Structure 1
């Protein structure tokens, strides 16, 4: 077994996947540190308010991007393979203009709604600034990942700025200083702005000289794809963050904070899914558009092997170490270990399903992806309305897990039917059966 794992780690694709996963795990570890330290430097109500507004800001950032972050991944790879500098320039100009206008509208909407609620103006300003910078980093990371490297894209989006925030929170904790949500949002915005600047500089350095190139547009293609990407992104963001808002609305801020902590821990598997998407979004489109089917299949199989190992290790960690991890947020969080386990089962199933969503979106089948995600969000909402009054926080976890499992199964079935590709870890069982069949045939031939 050890020999097989060592052979797996020597493969170039495996090293790429593992490197991306390590980056995501490191980012997730820092996010965990940010949230656990925030919970200990805020009052229970304050942390619940912070978690709720953070969820609102993340959804708002996705709304303001209007699907342009996914559109860039989809078309930059295609245009790079075809060396279409004119279309690359037109695409970049179009995306920047659209997102700039849309983000202004979204930020204004946040300010108006928060003002009508009677929230503190400093908190409103801090949330609005965080939303704008977060959207900029999301967009910049997609371009940097395609044109520069995964480290420059995802590192500045999720890793480096969190180091600054963790150091700040540690100083606050050691100094016995209690924070309010607005202060933490301000610090996060400043730290993230440094990452955004680094992305812009790195992209400017690697972009070919486009000053003498006339920009061309494929407006109809971009508009059609962007609409589906936008709807999918909004639904994905709602799928990830709307839970906390609903718990806040149906229960109370303290419970919302507890659910937020448990869901972030369960996202150890969502980090794996995000890592697979990140790696797949950089490698798979070029293989697909260059029609390198053999390498495409090999990449997916090796991704499945790494995924299977990570899912097994992650489930063991949550089952055994869950109470200790929850205790890092505070003693009152440890009573929700069962909620954490239920949420982890759902995200583990999603991770085991592989990058089916990425494959569908990046191979031109984004239209069928949207209804599945919409059904997932609708089913989860119905489950919340039925189960939370009956089972409380555990009901929310059950609803989230069931809806996520059903959506994962549906996406994998669609992916196999539309692309002929099975991105889940089940492909390993078929590959193993095929190898055994080949060995049996060779044995029969040699006996003859």
Structure 2
């Protein structure tokens, strides 16, 4: 089967379940990773580590210049049409552009290390460690997407989602065993170094397969499409996750590192609710691109609806878990986080995630079907207003206000995006699209036929 060929619903379901299991394991390991970090650092150092991690993540999203999304968009299209030389040429171009973006971003971050900041004595060393982590996160995201674009799901996901997290947890545990505590600089540096080591084999294989394979130069039309789409994808792939990290940094600026650490933890716990949809998206992305650009919109509608109903179901279960056991979960990181305020903040974030998953893989579909400009404009408007509202609510209500702003922004964006997708290309990625589709009709017939 060629890398971009259409897969059956059964095969997609199996891949989606496999990706979901990997993402579930990844989420559990991420939970343990931050628990381990909290256990080997004091409250201030964990707040600094959380801020450094959020900063590195934010920079990594922009530094790739949208190339991780470009390979997801174009490789299935070219390879699915049997044009492997163009697909390899596209991959080589994307690797070079991504590498240039990562180097440029790293140099800019290094420049910030020389800014005088008396309130953070370890500023210089923390900037260096954050730069290394940003580079590692960015490159690992690109290599993961490159393998997933070729339908190499496990090769794409395992190094970063599983191996790195296991290694980092073990590293923190060893550091805690050897000393009573470590600094945020040491924790960030350790995470960066281990991530680079874990994706090294992946990097070698990607470079070998790309630069040793027959490559064809992109024609003028392909180059124009690549440039036009890349600019749009750069914005739409960087803004959502970056603005999510910006919320943590905003809380840190307004309320201090301790409050930022609490919101950071609540936000990471909330992401368990979107885990199923994110896992399914790992398998769907190349199929959406290939099917849409071969004019098979019914297939795109069907798999989007199934993804929405699966993601919504898991998010609903997780919201119940947050209501019943939220304080217990938060207390694992630090007993101070198990307050009524932070529990309420977690539930509010869970409600935002529930609405977001009900809208299905909206962002992914807009990225891969030519709606990147509409997606970018929507993200800029909604999130700019959302950050302003979040800042105001944080000043007035503290962590509770931050949660209200973050969750509200998520809801408005997802509903708006799903509406645009339905109107522009006739595909409804939400659970409403599933309820109107053939799978829901078959389910209704089955249920009516039961005694």
Q: Specify the SS of the correspondent of 1:308.
A: helix
Indicate if the aligned counterparts of 2:382 and 2:413 stay in contact, CA closer than 8 A: yes
Indicate if the aligned counterparts of 1:353 and 1:412 stay in contact, CA closer than 8 A: yes
Indicate if the aligned counterparts of 2:250 and 2:391 stay in contact, CA closer than 8 A: no
Hey, what does 1:99 align to over in structure 2? 98
Pair 1:177 & 2:189 matched = no
* Residues 184 and 106 of structure 1, relative CA distance in 2, 3 Å threshold: same
Hey, what does 1:84 align to over in structure 2? 83
Pair 1:35 & 2:34 matched = yes
Taking only aligned residues, the RMSD between alpha carbons, in angstroms, comes to: 2.4
Indicate if the aligned counterparts of 2:47 and 2:261 stay in contact, CA closer than 8 A: yes
How far apart, CA to CA, are the structure 1 residues paired with 2:287 and 2:423? 22
* Residues 277 and 13 of structure 1, relative CA distance in 2, 3 Å threshold: closer
Hey, what does 2:397 align to over in structure 1? 391
Give CA-to-partner distance per residue, 1:36-78, whole Å, 9 cap, x none: 1111211111111111111111111122111111111111111
How far apart, CA to CA, are the structure 2 residues paired with 1:130 and 1:208? 27
Hey, what does 1:210 align to over in structure 2? 213
Pair 1:413 & 2:416 matched = no
Pair 1:263 & 2:262 matched = no
Instruction: Give the 5 Å matches for 1:321-360.
Output: 321-335=325-339, 336-360=342-366
How far apart, CA to CA, are the structure 2 residues paired with 1:68 and 1:81? 19
Q: 1:161 aligns with which of 146, 159, 164?
A: 164
How far apart, CA to CA, are the structure 2 residues paired with 1:169 and 1:149? 30
> 1:400 offset after TM fit, Å?
0.9
Hey, what does 1:445 align to over in structure 2? none
How far apart, CA to CA, are the structure 1 residues paired with 2:249 and 2:211? 44
How far apart, CA to CA, are the structure 1 residues paired with 2:283 and 2:275? 12
How far apart, CA to CA, are the structure 1 residues paired with 2:146 and 2:263? 33
How far apart, CA to CA, are the structure 1 residues paired with 2:422 and 2:238? 25
Hey, what does 1:446 align to over in structure 2? none
Instruction: Return 360-369 or 89-98, whichever deviates more.
Output: 89-98
Q: 2:233 aligns with which of 203, 221, 229?
A: 229
Q: Specify the SS of the correspondent of 1:73.
A: helix
Indicate if the aligned counterparts of 2:59 and 2:105 stay in contact, CA closer than 8 A: yes
* Residues 117 and 376 of structure 1, relative CA distance in 2, 3 Å threshold: farther
Give CA-to-partner distance per residue, 1:186-234, whole Å, 9 cap, x none: 22122211332121244356659534x4422532211111111111122
How far apart, CA to CA, are the structure 2 residues paired with 1:146 and 1:94? 15
> 1:271 offset after TM fit, Å?
2.7
How far apart, CA to CA, are the structure 2 residues paired with 1:167 and 1:433? 45
Give CA-to-partner distance per residue, 1:2-49, whole Å, 9 cap, x none: xxxxxxxx9433322222111111111111111111112111111111
Hey, what does 1:381 align to over in structure 2? 387
> 1:437 offset after TM fit, Å?
8.6
Ranges of 4+ aligned residues in structure 1 off by more than 6 Å: 436-442
Count of residues in Structure 1 that have an aligned counterpart in Structure 2: 432
Q: 1:143 aligns with which of 146, 171, 178?
A: 146
* Residues 147 and 435 of structure 1, relative CA distance in 2, 3 Å threshold: closer
> 1:260 offset after TM fit, Å?
0.4
How far apart, CA to CA, are the structure 2 residues paired with 1:299 and 1:436? 16
Pair 1:305 & 2:309 matched = yes
TM-score by length of 2: 0.89
Indicate if the aligned counterparts of 2:301 and 2:433 stay in contact, CA closer than 8 A: no
Q: Structure 2 stretches of 5 or more lacking a match?
A: 1-8
